[in-house]
Structure 1
Amino acid sequence: MSSGGNWKELFNAAVAGDLDVVRYHVQHGVDIDYAHPEFLSTPLVACILAGQEAAAHLLLDSGAQVDLASEFDGMNPLQAARHAGLAGLEARLLAMGATAPKAPAATAVQRPPWWRRLWTPQRSA
């Protein structure tokens, strides 16, 4: 299976916290560290920013790289966990050897992640 195989479905499932779908794609060889050219974001950082801690743990259990930066979000998993206020996940990432890059001299304007601007969950009536 190519690195982008069913990656979009994996990505969306991670952001939505659908562990069964994430697990399915992991078991079928979808590259969990891939960042699709249309997204430029990793499933791990995206699900952390969405507050999906269980999905993040599943991806980490499956071998996701702890220091792989998400280009679009401008942060790595540790920075995302700190941003999302997920202290337990932050502690796990630190225990796994994750590091945060040094802050740039001038910080960029913070804006919501691209997928949060585009993705709105369907709510049942």
Structure 2
Amino acid sequence: MSHGDYKAFFAAACAGDVALVEHHLDAGVDVDFVHPELQSTALVAAIEDGREDVALLLLDRGAAPDLRSPLEGTTPLEAARSAGLARVVSRLG
């Protein structure tokens, strides 16, 4: 059984490609996947890249709202506040 392409999922989240993120999630990618080289969650990485729509989608699809991203050492809420993503802050706050 395929579980999707984790690296492509992460790249799509950072690029803001909502449709491709949905595709990978539908294919079974773990929404809380930590990129093996970058040691970051897709949620925090998307937030830091200003990808508010992707961040909200990941939360809608079950991303852990309090999972600290290893590389950045931040939670999604901390990252959203720093990035100024008001809708994500509101959702997490």
TM-score computed with the length of structure 1 as normaliser: 0.70
CA apart distance, 1:73 = 1.1
Give the aligned partner of residue 88 of structure 2. 89
Q: Distance in 1 between matches of 2:15 and 2:35?
A: 18
Partner in structure 2 of residue 56 of structure 1: 55
Give 5+ residue unaligned stretches, structure 2: none
How far apart, in 1, do the equivalents of 2:72 and 2:59 lie? 19
CA distance in 1, matches of 2:53, 2:80: 12
Structure 1, unmatched stretches of 5+, are 95-125
Matched with 2:32 is: 33
Alpha-carbon separation, structure 1, partners of 2:76 and 2:32: 12
| Alignment RMSD | 1.1
1:37 to partner: Cα distance: 2.3
Please report the TM-score for the alignment, with normalisation by the length of structure 2. 0.93
CA distance in 2, matches of 1:20, 1:78: 24
Distance in 1 (CA, whole Å) between partners of 2:16 and 2:35 is: 19
Cα distance between partner residues in 2 of 1:16 and 1:34: 16
Q: How many residues align?
A: 92
SS at the partner of 1:39? coil
**AA at the equivalent of 1:76:** T
**Overall identity of the aligned pairs, in %:** 51
Q: 4+ residue runs of structure 1 moved beyond 2 angstroms?
A: none
- 1:47 partner letter: A
Give the corresponding residue for 1:71. 70
